[in-house]
């Protein structure tokens, strides 16, 4: 069963592509390049589309960003490349960089064109813990350097959140898996269904490999700490099930989602598209404090999502084993201090409660490798080196609120830097 | 409302916009449609001994999203019998007596066939002849078209033949496929031409298909050079018109041809010395209806300039074109960037840096962005930055050098 409804991205006609590609000014020292965390040479890839070298265009994109196909779909382009386009003027609109990137990468994906080759074998072996965007980026570049790579992945399939965690109408599984396959085609060993620190000891990794890259991401949604918690769905698990099976049995008609980040938006819109009539976001702070991107918030509004601000869940109401409502308390935010308003509790009827209040840290894996961390955030320097020699980290494992962005494109860039660092370490 | 009427060597038309001898003037049906839309005149597609055409025949040159900035063709002269053409010409003239109907002719370079053709054609009511000494493809291989137009003496001789028999004004149409167009123009004048028209199309190969490696257009895998025209040829045409307009040995009225698409193009031709203009590619691209925009725009332009008639434009810029040695070496302009309008694409910077004189600096502002600032002491006023700017935020400003005008010729004379 596939997920109902179409992708939110429309296929561009050749005509639209031509118009848009030719509209690009081919700026010098272009601001879009600087705004892209992976510094894709955007004017160059667009010029190549305009002159009919689509394969070369895709190579320019994927050389700089191994996750270029998924980033073309999930990047907050209005905050990045398109936001920096010189055409953000009163009379013009920015070049549709994301759409053109999707067109170019789709070209090689649809035709099965391989763009990269593994380097001459070096005899060095590197373990990559986690096969998500960061791990795949590391692995891709390490293979190009010629190092042997083994990817350890807890899930059955590679791709991490691209495969399992991003709503299907934004990023289809086949795109994420194709991207992973491009890395595998360079000759990686993959051990899926394996958790480092649980199924595989850290000790054996250290003994077996010349270097280790920790790209394990994060875990599930943390506990809310309220009665009835056991009936609350984890937003990421919900999206994963919906994406993999095309449905979510027992979702019901009224869905309450707690949290106001991008994952919350994904859970909300996913529930709506699965047929839930009334889907409501509950957030303890206000609209201004939402962490979701503006364009995500706008998208949720277009999808018919309802929003309740300044209320915090206090109890899941369960009758006969079935969720029937969510009790919330009003909150007040003064001088940055959030407090519950005593006696303000109210009940919202609902069939399902989904929590999207963030992700927990994979302490078992991190601690097993013995690297320094701050509350589960692995500590790295600018070259992605952890406190332990020969162990590097990238992606959500080093994501620290306020310091870095938890974007696929950031993970890809960190992966590139980590691979370069590992190479220097092995040959330094 | 200005007077748009035009008079080229006695050939009168209600406006200076004529259709050039080409596919749009192939038949009475087309010419009547054109006249109904407002064209002032038409030069009928070349009559002569009917030929056989090939398919395919045309090709367009596209630049990015702009189609047909250039065009070429390997079509020949009329492929319909002379009688049929003459009958339709008579019908057109009857239906639109105020429009100019000029008939283009082509024959072998012998007196008798030319006399016969001229006499036969002028049995119907026409306003003039245009001698096709310009077509660069096909007919030139048979000793006609540009094969004649490349020999001033042949032009003179054939023009003389035609003038011996013609009762209406004779225009000689010139090929641009020569080193100096003034020589064939002088040949036409010596032969007694009442006017010249230029330019005909330019020798061209439009392209090669990257998949099949066939030429474009191709006729069963082969092609020959064709005649190139359209907006891209306008500067070449303006130069040649200007050359003829300034040459005392030419000294006949000029019908300007080459890339005219709008009233603006027409005004340029007139200012440099043409009396009227002929149009083909623009019609092939847009249809006859564009003449309404042309007459409307020309009329408003004349009104805005306070000119009573279109004739007042003719040659007004003629003497602004001279030789390089007469240009003022002490005239100076420099570029200035309007920071308010600049969108920071840096195209001016890289153009100046790589291809001009390295005098645009990127000056960092406190917010980390850059201003593009012209180093005015080194700017040579070449215009390149202004040309590449996509938002027209670079102005070229005159600078008073405090020096009197001095040309190279004058400087060299002083040095002597």
ipTM of this model? 0.91
The model's pTM is 0.93
Low-confidence ranges of chain B (pLDDT < 70): none
Full DSSP string of A217-235:
---SPPP--STTGGGPEEH
Residue pLDDT, tens place only, A297-340: 999 999 999 999 999 999 999 999 999 999 999 999 998 899 99
Residue A405 pLDDT exceeds 80: no
B76 touches B139 (CB < 8 A): yes
Query: What's the whole-number mean pLDDT along residues A181-207?
Result: 93
Least Cα distance to A369 among A340, A345, A389 occurs for A389
Q: CA distances (Å), B20 to each of A250, A270, B31, B242, in order?
A: 76, 64, 11, 19
% residues pLDDT > 70 (chain A): 99
Contact A28 B346 (CB under 8 A): yes
Distance CA A328, CA B239 (A): 82
B87 touches B125 (CB < 8 A): no
pLDDT given for residue A403 in this prediction: 62
B281 touches B68 (CB < 8 A): yes
Q: How many CB atoms are closer than 10 A to CB A367? A: 14
pLDDT given for residue B368 in this prediction: 80
Query: What are the start-end ranges of the E strands in A293-388?
Result: 306-309, 311-319, 322-334, 337-340, 346-349, 352-355, 373-374, 377-378
Distance CA A396, CA A160 (A): 11
B167 touches B251 (CB < 8 A): no
Cβ pairs A/B, distance under 8 A: 29
Task: Report CA torsion sign: B268, B274, B276, B279.
Answer: negative
CA angle A141, A147, A151 (to 5 degrees): 75
Residue A428 pLDDT exceeds 70: no
Q: Which residues of B touch A26 (CB under 8 A)?
A: 347
pLDDT given for residue B21 in this prediction: 98
- Residue partners of B108: CB distance under 8 A and separation at least 6: B142, B143, B144
Distance CA B34, CA B288 (A): 5
Distance CA A284, CA A53 (A): 50
Query: What's the whole-number mean pLDDT along residues A149-175?
Result: 96
Give me the catalytic one of B92, B135, B229, B348.
Answer: B135
pLDDT band at residue A400 using 50, 70 and 90 as cut-offs: confident
Distance CA A377, CA A362 (A): 9
- Residue partners of B106: CB distance under 8 A and separation at least 6: B46, B47, B48, B77, B131, B132, B135, B139, B144, B145
Q: CA distances (Å), B109 to each of A66, A267, B112, B116, in order?
A: 70, 85, 9, 13
Distance CA B46, CA A95 (A): 48
pLDDT given for residue A155 in this prediction: 96
% residues pLDDT > 90 (chain A): 93
DSSP code for B25 = G
pLDDT given for residue A1 in this prediction: 63
Option in B64, B343, B346 nearest A89 (CB): B343
Please report which residue ranges of A223-346 form alpha helices under DSSP H: 235-245, 262-273, 294-302
Residue A342 pLDDT exceeds 70: yes
Contact A86 B347 (CB under 8 A): no
Interface membership of B387 toward A (CB under 8 Å): no
Residue A38 pLDDT exceeds 90: yes
Distance CA A81, CA A95 (A): 9
Q: Among this protein's residues, is B385 annotated catalytic?
A: no
pLDDT band at residue A402 using 50, 70 and 90 as cut-offs: low
pLDDT given for residue A4 in this prediction: 83
Option in B64, B343, B350 nearest A28 (CB): B350
DSSP code for B47 = E
Q: Which residues of B touch A87 (CB under 8 A)?
A: 343
**Least confident window among A198-202, A402-406, B246-250:** A402-406
Contact B347 A25 (CB under 8 A): yes
| Residue B227 token pair | 């005649």
pLDDT band at residue A171 using 50, 70 and 90 as cut-offs: very high
A82 touches A98 (CB < 8 A): yes
What H or E segment, with its residue span, contains residue A126?
A: strand A125-129
DSSP code for B248 = T
């Amino acid at each position: 069963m596939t997920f109902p409804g179409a992708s939110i991205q429309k296929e561009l006609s050749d005509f639209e592509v031509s118009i848009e590609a030719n509209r690009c000014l081919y700026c010098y020292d272009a601001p879009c390049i600087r705004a892209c965390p992976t510094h894709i040479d955007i004017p160059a890839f667009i010029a190549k589309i305009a002159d009919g070298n689509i394969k070369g265009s895709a190579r320019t994109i994927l050389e700089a960003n191994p996750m270029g196909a998924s980033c073309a779909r999930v990047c907050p382009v209005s905050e990045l490349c398109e936001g920096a386009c010189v055409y953000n003027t009163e009379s013009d609109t920015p070049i549709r960089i994301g759409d053109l990137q999707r067109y170019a990468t789709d070209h090689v994906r649809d035709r099965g064109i391989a763009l990269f080759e593994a380097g001459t074998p070096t005899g060095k072996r590197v373990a990559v813990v986690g096969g998500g965007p960061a791990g795949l980026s590391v692995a891709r570049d390490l293979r190009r350097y010629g190092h042997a790579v083994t990817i350890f992945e807890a899930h059955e399939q590679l791709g991490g959140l691209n495969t399992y965690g991003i709503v299907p109408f934004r990023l289809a599984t086949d795109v994420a898996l194709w991207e992973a396959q491009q890395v595998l085609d360079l000759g990686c060993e993959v051990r899926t269904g394996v958790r480092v620190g649980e199924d595989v000891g850290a000790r054996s990794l250290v003994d077996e490999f010349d270097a280790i890259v920790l790209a394990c991401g994060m875990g599930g949604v943390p506990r809310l700490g309220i009665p009835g918690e056991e009936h609350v769905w984890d937003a990421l698990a919900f999206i994963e099930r919906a994406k993999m099976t095309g449905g979510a049995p027992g979702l019901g008609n009224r869905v309450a989602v707690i949290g106001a980040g991008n994952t919350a938006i994904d859970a909300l819109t996913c529930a709506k598209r699965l047929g839930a009539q009334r889907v409501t976001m509950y957030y303890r702070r206000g609209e201004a404090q939402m962490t979701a991107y503006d364009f995500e918030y706008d998208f949720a509004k277009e999808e018919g999502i309802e929003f309740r601000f300044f209320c915090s869940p206090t109890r899941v109401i369960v009758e006969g084993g079935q969720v029937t409502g969510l009790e919330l308390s009003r909150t007040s935010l003064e001088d940055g201090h959030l407090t519950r308003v005593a006696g303000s509790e109210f009940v919202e009827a609902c069939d399902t409660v989904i929590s999207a209040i963030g992700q927990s840290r994979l302490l078992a894996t991190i601690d097993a490798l013995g690297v320094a961390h701050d509350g589960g955030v692995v500590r790295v320097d600018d070259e992605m080196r952890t406190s332990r020699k020969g162990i590097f980290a990238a992606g959500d494992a080093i994501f620290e609120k306020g310091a870095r962005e938890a974007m696929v494109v950031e993970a890809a860039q960190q992966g590139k830097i980590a691979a370069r660092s590992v190479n220097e370490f092995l040959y330094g | 409302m200005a007077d748009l009427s035009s008079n080229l060597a006695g050939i009168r038309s209600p406006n200076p916009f004529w259709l050039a001898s080409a596919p749009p003037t192939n038949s009475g049906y087309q010419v009547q449609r054109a006249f109904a839309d407002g064209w002032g005149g038409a030069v009928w597609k070349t009559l002569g001994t009917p030929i056989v055409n090939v398919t395919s025949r045309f090709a367009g040159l596209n630049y990015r999203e702009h189609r047909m900035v250039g065009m070429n063709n390997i079509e020949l002269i009329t492929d319909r019998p002379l009688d049929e053409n003459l009958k339709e010409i008579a019908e057109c003239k009857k239906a639109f007596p105020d429009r100019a109907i000029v008939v283009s002719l082509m024959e072998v370079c012998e007196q008798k066939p030319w006399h016969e053709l001229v006499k036969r054609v002028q049995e119907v009511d026409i306003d003039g002849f245009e001698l096709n000494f310009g077509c660069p493809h096909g007919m030139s291989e048979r000793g006609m078209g540009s094969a004649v137009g490349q020999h001033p003496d042949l032009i003179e001789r054939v023009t003389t033949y035609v003038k011996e028999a013609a009762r209406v004004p004779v225009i000689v149409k010139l090929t641009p496929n020569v080193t100096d167009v003034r020589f064939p123009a002088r040949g036409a004048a010596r032969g007694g031409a009442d006017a010249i028209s230029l330019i005909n199309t330019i020798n061209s190969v439009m392209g090669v298909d990257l998949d099949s490696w066939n030429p474009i257009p191709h006729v069963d895998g082969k092609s020959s050079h064709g005649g190139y025209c359209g907006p891209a040829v306008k500067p070449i045409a303006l130069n040649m018109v200007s050359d003829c307009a300034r040459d005392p040995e030419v000294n006949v009225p000029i019908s300007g041809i080459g890339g005219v698409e709008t009233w603006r193009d027409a005004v340029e031709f007139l200012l440099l010395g043409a009396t009227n203009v002929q149009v083909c590619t623009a019609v092939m691209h847009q249809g006859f209806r564009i003449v309404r925009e042309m007459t409307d725009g020309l009329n408003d332009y004349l009104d805005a300039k306070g000119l009573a008639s279109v004739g007042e434009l003719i040659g007004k810029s003629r003497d602004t074109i001279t030789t390089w040695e007469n240009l003022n070496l002490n005239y100076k302009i420099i570029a200035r960037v309007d920071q308010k309008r600049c969108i920071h694409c840096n195209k001016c910077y890289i153009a100046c840096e790589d291809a001009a004189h390295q005098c645009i600096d990127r000056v960092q502002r406190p917010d980390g962005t850059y201003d593009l600032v012209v180093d005015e002491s080194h700017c040579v006023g070449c215009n390149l930055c202004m040309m590449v700017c996509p938002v027209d935020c670079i102005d070229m400003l005159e600078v008073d050098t405090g020096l009197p005008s001095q040309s190279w010729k004058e400087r060299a004379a002083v040095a002597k």
